[in-house]
Amino acid sequence: MHKTMKNIKPYVLALLMLLTFTMSSCELIGDIFEAGMWTALIIIVLIVLLVSWLFRKFRR
């Protein structure tokens, strides 16, 4: 192993331990999926409204 790798290793381990105790990954992933779900729902509604508006516009 290189000398710098030996010096960095304790810091990397400390950082991983800190992240393990401070962040709940399941909660984070759940929030991301929930935000994605609402974003997708809003986009789908907007697309349906746009298509229905265009359909009515061309029928006249």
Q: What is the pLDDT of residues 9-49, one digit of tens each?
A: 777 778 777 767 666 667 777 777 888 888 999 999 999 99
pLDDT at 44: 95
Give Cα separations from 35 to 6, 25, 28, 38, 40 (angstroms). 41, 15, 11, 5, 9
What is d(CA 11, CA 15) in angstroms, rounded to the nearest whole number? 6
State the Cα–Cα distance between residues 31 and 17, nearest whole angstrom: 22
Query: Domain locations in the chain?
Result: 25-60
pLDDT value at residue 30: 78
What is this structure's pTM? 0.50
Specify the pLDDT at position 51: 94
